[in-house]
Structure 1
Amino acid sequence: MKRKIAAAILCASMVMNLGGGLPVLASEEGNTGIGIELTEFANPSKQYQPGVRWWWPGGAVEKETLKKEIDYLAENNFGYVEINPFYLSQALEGDEETAKSIYTPGFYELLDYAVGYCEEKGITVDLNMGSGWNANSQYVTYEETMGNMALGRVTVTAEELRNGVDIPEAERSVFYVGDDARGEWQDESVKLQGILVAELTGETGTEFAEREGLFGSVPAYTEVYDAEGNVSKEYPAQVVLNLEHSYYLQADETMGEGTVTLTDEILGSLDDTKEYEVIAMYYVPSGGTGVDCEPEWYVADHMDAETSADYINDWLGDANMKQILDSHSNIRAVFNDSYEFYSDIYYTEDMAELAADAENNGLGYDFSKYLPTIYKQYSAAPFYMGLGTSDTYLTYTADAGEEARIQYDYNTLVNQKFQEGMAAFQEASNGYELLYRQEAYNPPIDTLASANYVDIPEGEQGDEMSLIRTSSGAHLYGKNLVTCEQYTLGCTPLMNTLEQVKIGYDNMATSGITNFFYHGLMYGYGVDSEEYGEMGWTPFPTTGINMSERNSLSPYFGEMNEYASRVNYLMQQGSPSKDVAYYMPFNGSLSETDAVTAMNSAGYAWDAINDDSIQSEDTTVSEDGTIVVNGGNMEYDAIVVDSASVPVATMEKLQAMAEQGAAIIFSGAAPSAQPGWADGNYAEEDAKVAAASEAILSASNSALAEDVDTLKTVLAEKVTPKVSYEDNDQVRFARRTLDNGAELVYLRNIGEGENTITLELKAGYGECYWLDQSTGEVYAAEKDGDTITVTLEASQDTYSDKHSMAIALICEPEGTEIAAEELTEGTPKAFADTSEGETTELTVDSLTVGDTTYTDQVLGKWNSDDFQGGALKTSADTGIYHATYTLTGSLDGKKAELSLSNVYTAATVLVNGEEAGKLMYAPYTLDITEYLTEGENEIEIQVTPRKYNKINPEAETLVDTGMEGPVTITVK
């Protein structure tokens, strides 16, 4: 009963959190009427704290260590953990079986303890769906694994066809054969689905050849294999089939004798001068497994709704798991990582049936005879592996554009099956009062529409456009909580600077992410062992960030998480506020196009929008021309279409919207084609798109913008942002409309230098305030009419090539103010300080590292051979720099600011023995006024280096450590 009561409260909270703005919380003194709760902003509660993926070495965990790590997480402001029992490549002696023992009675006992202690500490738990990724468990059978297609082929004459040809046996791909095989073949599960008989044109297409991939050479994949693993045939080049003389036969009982049986009509059409390809199409389970603890655990078929639901019910319905769910109220969601499957193509058993269903397959025609021409070897593998045939083995056309159209239609079928699978995962998870969190991308799917079937959509890594894609889907489908797996690839463990991490927080905020998970807290397994060394086990060397207490920078994580929590709090309030919807084609991606550049530099907030949302019955146009999407989930002033190819149904809806007064803007050129094959009738469908474009441009509120400047002009005529900024190509921002009508802006300078930004406010806002996410303090913003001008400092990261200096602004409605006593005088640190003062450069007289004190050549990079003879090149110990500062007379209302230059990587400052603050990211300045006394003052700067050099002493390039200076104090 405890679980049900708590879950009801949790689910009610989550529904509010996911579907709309959180309520404005009341302070002890009562609600002030402003758009946010100031005490919550200053000290966000656990629900706004970031999460971390907690990697467990399979089942080789102990309660004592679990408790220690949960205490560490709670003390350092982590609000969520995602528990992922992962594959342990090298178990310590005696742990060989324990490491593989997951979801066993012993493992459940440990999981119950961890969840319970997290609950005690206020930490919310998400459970990874199985071990590693993707969803797998001991319950998934071979028949329930991700599906695959296999072909059997034979080339024959017309005469041979008339005399009867044996149905070709299924040929095995390299996916099932050899030392590197990722699949499993069981003859009894191979099912014939159809036979294609096609006349050969005599042409060949792509010649298959070995090529270079990301991880070395990629084979040509010209060979197929028999049951013994021997090469049975070679297909050196793509074969071109005659579409007009191709015949697809559904598998039925007439094929039971193993012979291809053709109708009299087909037999009569055969040409004795031609050869024919007989292609048998088979369904076969992939037998694919994940990267997980148990190599025999299969990955469930994510394209099959029944299998997806069964997976959840088997896993969560287990008596041991159910006991945990019923006993604790802090398990929020089940999580499935990014779709990274291995098979030849994306396929599932009933896909052949869907392909034949012209009324319901989204294509309007029978796609059956095209299915065999999609087949490749090893193409349904993660893109970064660089695997797979360079082209299909069979084709009806050597024209690359036409091939792309056929591929597009196949992708439409794949998308439908994946969406069905996600819907089943969601419904089944919700049945256990849990949410479904998913990274839905990589296969050919509508990444935006996926948010409709995911309770917590999740992105990954730091690419701005990829994150906007994820958050756009969430906005379109009414999900307020959007998470991100962060600092994954493109980062190197222990090389990360805190500046880089902070830039990540800012980037996520302006990209629409409202909370996130660090990619790595590694359970302390094998620490200081011969097998794993000082840092202990890690799931793989490229885990992008190490959030454990063994990281030398861990003393700063708690304060870093305070920054992140304030940002998360702000970005979860109210609802997203956008001006423009930017059309993103199905299975497309976002990039810095001219249209995107124009919107970003001209100060327009935008989302991506998909075909599904445009075509929806619930997407309408209001009397004033506002575009209301998916029943009111989002509203936009305009839709920008920057694609030459758009589906007919989408164009027809855009035309109808334009005729109702919606602003439809074509960027570059008007669409003139649609992406599908249309059973070969694509030219006719293309003409419909061209006609719709013409009709749209004849509407009064639509326009064609052929270049960036014209697009900016058109947007200025048709879009009225609540808050915008004057043209500036080094700015990113995000806006939220709060429940009281206030507008919240998260603003950042992405340039390498200081950036003066002029904000333009819609009439009707009263007082505005700066919200400093670094400190939780609030400052009055100075308005000049309906503008605010601010100059933001630049960041100074020495590791990444990214920049960000950010601040939040809240513009309240007329008559709503923050009480003066709640405000801090002055301006936030992120602002460039142009005031004059008297600057003193301090003489740093000593550096103490461990038991050694240096008094000569104190400032410099430790990683240099020239610094102290290279004695500190691989040190990870804190360096204590000492200086004195003499204050003559009283400060008398003036401010004394300490400034550090070229500090690697973080510093704690003590003045006269009292801690004055930490410096973790730019600007490396600290107000030390209250700590100074007249006369001589002792200044101690404790600089913490990254641990990379110590762990990797033989690295070709060591990271910068130490401090170069100068160190100054400015009184102003």
Structure 2
Amino acid sequence: MNIQSIVKVGIFCFAFGNLPAQNPWPKPTETTKPWTRWWWMGNAVDEKGLDKQLTTLNKAGFGGVEIVPIYGAKGFENQYIDYLSPEWMKMLQFTTAKAKSLNMGVDMSVGTGWPIGGPQVDEQKAATKMIVQTYTISSGEELSEKIVLKDEKQKNLKTIKLDIVTAYNEKNRAIVLTDKITNDGSLNWKPDSGKWTVYAVFTGKTLQKVKRAAPGGEGFTLDHFSPDATKDYLKTFDKAFGNSNYGIRSFFNDSYEVYNADWTPDFKNEFKKRRGYDLSPYIRYLGSNEESEIAGRVKSDYRETLSELILNNFTKDFTDWAHSKNSKNTNQAHGSPGNLLDLYAAVDIPESETFGSSIFEIPGLRRDSADIQKSDIPDFNMLKFASSAANVTGKQLISNETFTWLTEHFKTSWSQAKPEVEQIFLSGINHVFYHGTTYTPADVPFPGWLFYASVNFVPENSMWPHLTGLNSYVARTQSVLQSGKSDNELLMYWPIYDQWANPKGKDVTFKVHNVEKWLQPAPMYENLTKLSKMGYSLDMISDKMIGGSKSESQKIQTAKGGSSYQVLIIPELTYLPETTLNNILELAQNGASVIFQNEPKDIPGNFEVEKRRAKLKSLWAQIPFQNQGENIKIVSFGKGKIILSSDVEKGLEYLKIQREKLTETGLKFVRRQFDGGKYYFIVNHDSKEINQFIPLNYTGNQTVIMDPETGDFGVAETQNNSVRIQLKSGESLILKNSETTDSSIPKWKYTEKAGSPVNLNQNWQLTFKEGGPELPKSRNLKKLEPWTNFSEDPATQSFSGTGVYTATLNLKNKKADDYLLKFDKLYESAKIIVNGQEAGIVWSIPFQINIGKYLEKGKNTIQIEVCNLMANRIRYMDQNKIQWRNYHEINFVNIDYKAFDASNWKVQPSGLDGQIQLFPLYYSK
């Protein structure tokens, strides 16, 4: 079966562009290839080093870089360059010019480290928080204590001000006293009865500074809620860039990690303008956890205001600014106290991130509990916030910060990376940025400069020679996933007001790292998970997006250029704005199909509650539901249909919405539509092999199978709207289903049977090609085994690099259609050379490759160049106290954020082990 063939070294571009005219692969671009986050440590870069590293990245198959300056290495201070200084801009200009000559792109962060901020952020524009102090006063008394800020850390700040003062008695009666405070903080008010608690709200500062800042980038974190702060911050870039964008494709903003920022100097006025009432009489509820209705309503309004402020005063301004530079912008919305869908949608390229290691049922896939994050498992539905926003609003690219802390340092194989990146693709994301690559000067010895939370996609990595395998696979897959547009049929409303109405806490931040608190318990999440497993394709939609949608031809057409959908699902919820319900009913009136899991119980917020509640109930009463059976009510509503059922599946069946039944086999998929057809990207993360016809909702008149690992393709066998596929666990393929047919495309080669294998259990020669700290001795092997088994040679225990296993195979006859070379255990990847010809790289599970066209009858020489992990060499260096980590700020930590020390690690097995077998393959005729 040709699916198992592995990418040929050195033909990265050939597999895309130089095949005959019938080649079905989309034309490659710089964005179809993976990019990498490129850390400039201390900005200690020079033209020679930049040239060398960009050239090296290009040869490995990268399409671009994302520059993020961070802290520097000790001892190189005299080489540091201040961020945005004329010298730094000169280095940037050299970078973009060199990248352009290599057909690569360059993005850059609008700041150093994260979150954004820096020396241009003065105290006034710095991240802001509310500080609440309380006082008690009884009838007839004067408050002896002055209302002044007590926080010692804040006392010397010039921008501190008293925003709101409100008193509450035992019956919760409120009196706003803000205008009763004198300049020195005295309260000019006496209560006439009872005991009162006075709440004083000050505008304070978080005092948070940029984490991991580079030279010239140190300073306060930005106040994302202030339009003046955003505009002033970006003026620094205007000054540095002038009228040019210096060749930057997209300006990047990292995830929102601004801690305790829950206020802005003009918040009180913004709140009144946006929510319709004065917050002052209700201020006590923001600092309490009382579970009253009024507390939940006020907090909902407070949180919605924060959301609108970050959307309008930061995100949209950031987008407008990037466009003024004739560039795009990229933003990671997660972590912010805002509606993630709207925030992602307000930029050119929404970007999510994965953090940690997923669980897959692929036999042989290593997931050592000692080398992974204990709590962080990437959440598939969390990834869909970015892709949903893009699909609904018609954005072509959705990116991802990929492989952050995938495993412990120096222990990540490319085979571990493959299913992780496939999970990202399945969520609808189509452009990955590896995390990441660190610039290293040429004179810095192994392992070079490294970032503390990344998989090391650096030339010093002992597995670097085989990275083209992974990169070619990603590039081919992305070329398809960036073509056409998303083809999801269902929309799932995100009931964010149920999150915002929680009376506990103050601001609500939607983080990647706490989805178990805010996302996974939600009924929406249960629906997303269940329906996806059943074979439905979904995007999420916000209130704002519903308001911007319309009904066309019985479908829901989202924003201009966005996708169209067959059904809008309103999951079980408590709060629904009457305006949103009205928009939903308008969609139904004009032809849309809508499923409600329950009747909305109430409106959110604290403005004109009874009036708005009555409007909600009045709108709902307009729906004349008819019982259709147990747990389902339906109505034809105008040109559309509305269904009420807690069983969404039953509602979808009634509407005759087809699901993709291929998921019943354990396969996963994502679907794209193009003019004249549809693509299916199909992955087998199940433990069993698939060899059967699978049903598809759309097959067109011709189905072409495309192998993203090899670039091979051929016309598939089809019958009764089903396509025959052969996929082992861990494999993937792409189906291109077209209305038109192309007779020049050959048939796909299905493996009809495999003959008895030849066991390559003869003598092998083991030599060492490159690596360190020193090359182990060559040896002859009576059987295959890892070089780390030979502990009598100390170099085998410390070596990271390339070992070469060589043997002679006598093939008595060559009658099979092809031959499959299959590895039992491979640590970690291998280049296969048969009779002096490079056959390809084996880098992913299942570890096997087709080599028939390179074999000859009679004597054959097989060389297997194996690359192992960096781990053993790092272990050796730590055991021998060889200094290699020497950075400012955070020096270097392990996956549990403790001081890194590899000296107690076990030696990682390296090389080949077990059987290597050669299977004769026979294809269907």
Same fold (TM over 0.5): yes
Deviation at 1:720, TM superposition (A): 4.0
Greater RCO, 1 or 2 (C-alpha within 8 Å, sep 6+): 2
1:168 aligns to 2:147 (yes or no): yes
Match of 2:270, SS state, is: helix
- After superposition, residues 717-732 of structure 1 pair within 5 angstroms as 717-720=654-657, 724-726=660-662, 728=664, 730-732=666-668
Cross-structure match for 2:542: 610
Q: 1:281 to 1:28 in 2, by over 3 A?
A: same
The residue aligned with 1:337 is: 254
CA distance in 1, matches of 2:758, 2:544: 62
Instruction: Look up the match of 1:948.
Output: 871
Map of 2:425 onto structure 1: 509
Residues 857-868 of structure 1 mapped to structure 2, 5 A cutoff: 858-861=783-786
Alignment partner of 1:643 is 2:568: no
Of 561, 585, 594, which aligns to 1:664? 594
Contact 2:787 2:910 in 1 (8 A): yes
> Which residue in the other structure is 2:52 paired with?
68
Unaligned stretches of 5+ residues in structure 2: 1-15, 355-377, 500-509, 511-517, 626-632, 769-774, 877-902
Which SS does the other structure have where 2:389 is aligned?
A: helix
Offset at residue 521 of structure 1 (A): 0.7
**Letter of the structure 1 residue corresponding to residue 538 of structure 2:** W
Determine whether 1:584 maps to 2:568: no
Letter in 1 for 2:595: I
Q: What's the offset of the Cα at 1:695? A: 5.7
Q: Secondary structure at the match of 1:290?
A: coil
Query: In the superposition, relative to structure 1, how do residues 280 and 593 fare at CA in structure 2: closer, same or farther (>3 Å)?
Result: closer
Measured against aligned partners, the alpha-carbon deviations of 1:192-245 in whole angstroms (never above 9, x if no partner) come to: 11111112x4xxxxxxxxxxxxxxxxxxxxxxxxxxxxxxxxxxxxxxxx5x41
| Cα distance in 2, alignment partners of residues 871 and 912 from structure 1 | 29
Against the structure 1 CA distance between its residues 746 and 915, is the aligned structure 2 distance closer, same or farther, given a 3 Å change threshold?
Answer: same
Aligned match of 1:413:
305
- Among residues 553, 578, 603, which one is paired with 2:463 in the alignment? 553
Residues 674 and 689, structure 1, Cα contact 8 Å, conserved in 2: no
- 1:535-578 Cα deviation digits (max 9, x unpaired): 12223x2x221111000111122332121111111111111111
Is 1:46 matched with 2:16? no
Counterpart of 1:258 in structure 2 is 185
Question: Does 1:748 pair with 2:680?
Answer: no
SS of the aligned residue for 2:481 comes to helix
In structure 2, the residue matched to 1:818 is 742
Partner of 1:971: 920
Q: Percent identity?
A: 22
TM-score by length of 1: 0.78
Q: Does 1:734 align with 2:664?
A: no
Structure 2 distance, partners of 1:782, 1:155, is 81
- Contact 1:882/1:940, CA 8 A, preserved across alignment: yes
In the TM superposition, what are the counterparts of 1:557-706 in structure 2 within 5 Å? 557-586=467-496, 591=520, 593-614=525-546, 616=547, 618-624=548-554, 626-631=555-560, 633-649=562-578, 650-667=580-597, 669-676=598-605, 684=613, 688=617, 691=620, 697-700=633-636, 701-706=641-646
Partner of 1:57: 41
SS in 2 for 1:909: strand
Q: What is the aligned counterpart of 1:876 among 800, 821, 842?
A: 800
SS at match of 1:550: coil
Aligned to 2:176: 248
Matches within 5 A, 1:706-725: 706-707=646-647, 711-720=648-657, 724-725=660-661
Deviation per CA, 1:376-427: give whole Å up to 9, x if none: xxxxxxxxxxxxxxxx4x45x345x765554332211110110011111111
2:270 counterpart residue number: 354
Residue 705 of structure 1: how far off its partner (Å):
4.2
Paired residues of 2:419 and 2:685 also in contact (CA < 8 A): no
**Against the structure 1 CA distance between its residues 583 and 851, is the aligned structure 2 distance closer, same or farther, given a 3 Å change threshold?**
same
**Aligned residues of 2:25 and 2:480 also touching (Cα < 8 A):** no
Query: Is the CA contact 2:826–2:913 (under 8 Å) kept in the aligned structure 1?
Result: yes
Name the amino acid aligned to 1:338. Answer: S
Q: 1:698 to 1:943 in 2, by over 3 A?
A: same
The yes-or-no answer on 1:896 pairing with 2:819 is yes
CA contact (8 A) 1:746 1:808 kept: yes
Pick aligned residue for 2:206 from 286, 302, 318? 286
State the distance in 1 between where 2:379 and 2:693 align: 26
**Partners of 2:271 and 2:692 in 1: CA distance:** 54
Shift, 1:686, TM fit: 11
Matching residue within 819, 828, 846 for 1:923: 846
Q: Secondary structure, in 3 states, of the residue corresponding to 1:197?
A: strand
Q: Which residue of 1 aligns with 2:767?
A: 848
Deviations 1:888-945 (A, max 9, x none): 13x2452122111211110111222322211111232222112222222222212111
Looking at structure 2, the residues matched to 444 and 478 of structure 1 have their Cα atoms a distance apart, in angstroms, of 24
Match for residue 305 of structure 1?
227
> Structure 2 CA distance, aligned partners of 1:524 and 1:682?
64
Letter in 1 for 2:242: K
Q: Distance in 1 between matches of 2:157 and 2:104?
A: 48
The answer to whether the 8 A contact 1:861-1:867 is kept is no
Superposed displacement of residue 843, structure 1? 0.9
1:189 is aligned to 159
Contact 2:384 2:427 in 1 (8 A): yes
* Contact 1:655 1:693 (8 Å CA) reproduced: no
**How far apart are 1:337 and its partner, in Å?**
0.3
Q: Check 1:882–1:609 CA distance in 2 against 1; reply closer, same or farther (3 A cut).
A: same
* Partner Cα separation in structure 2 for residue 314 and residue 900 of structure 1: 56
* Matched residue, 2:360: none
TM-score (norm 2): 0.81
* Cα separation, 2, equivalents of 1:114 and 1:485: 21
Amino acid at match of 1:408: S
Counterpart of 2:281 in structure 1 is 369
Equivalent residues of 1:843, 1:883 under 8 A apart: no
Deviation, 1:191, is 1.4
- Over 3 Å counting, the alpha-carbon distance change for 1:916 and 1:308 in structure 2 is same
SS of structure 2 residue aligned to 1:881: strand
Give the drift of 1:299.
Answer: 2.4
- CA distance, structure 2, for counterparts of residue 703 and residue 170 of structure 1: 56
Choose which of 455, 460, 469 in structure 1 pairs with 2:353. Answer: 460
Measure the CA separation in 2 of the matches of 1:633 and 1:52.
28
Q: Which residue of 2 is the match for residue 20 of structure 1?
A: none
**Counterpart of 1:245 in structure 2: which amino acid?**
R
Q: Structure 1 stretch 868-877 or stretch 633-642: which is displaced more?
A: 868-877
**Distance apart, 1:75 and its partner CA:** 1.3
Over aligned residue pairs, what C-alpha RMSD do you find? 3.2
Counterparts of residues 34-433 of structure 1 (less than 5 Å): 38=24, 40-41=26-27, 44-88=28-72, 90-92=73-75, 95-96=76-77, 98-99=79-80, 101-160=82-141, 163=142, 167-172=146-151, 177=153, 186-199=156-169, 201=170, 242=171, 244-251=172-179, 255-256=182-183, 258-262=185-189, 270-272=192-194, 274=195, 276-291=196-211, 292-294=213-215, 296-318=218-240, 321-322=241-242, 325=244, 328=246, 330-342=247-259, 344-357=260-273, 360-361=274-275, 364-371=276-283, 373-374=285-286, 392=287, 394=288, 397-399=290-292, 403-420=295-312, 421-433=314-326
Q: Structure 2: which amino acid aligns with 1:432?
A: K
Structure 2 residue corresponding to 1:535, chosen from 416, 422, 447 = 447
The equivalent residue for 1:837 is 755
Measured at CA, do residues 606 and 719 of structure 1 come closer, stay the same or move farther in structure 2, by a change above 3 Å? farther
Q: 1: distance between equivalents of 2:796 and 2:610?
A: 71
1:887 aligned to 2:811? yes
Separation in structure 1 between the aligned mates of residue 843 and residue 860 of structure 2, nearest angstrom: 23
- CA shift for structure 1 position 102: 2.1
| Aligned residue identity for 1:38 | P
Structure 2: distance between partners of 1:971 and 1:30: 28
**Cα deviation 1:763-816 (Å, max 9, x = unaligned):** 682111111111222211111122224342102xxxxxxxxx321111111xx1
CA distance, structure 2, for counterparts of residue 50 and residue 871 of structure 1? 35
- Do 1:598 and 1:712's aligned partners in 2 also have CA atoms closer than 8 Å? no
Listed one character per residue, the Cα deviations across residues 319-377 of structure 1 (whole Å, up to 9, x for unaligned) are xx337x36x5x3111111001113x34211111112223xx23xx44333334543xxx
Change beyond 3 A, Cα 1:772–1:610: same
Aligned residues: 813
Q: Distance in 1 between matches of 2:685 and 2:712?
A: 23
Farther off after superposition, 872-881 or 600-609: 872-881
State the SS of the aligned residue for 1:521: strand
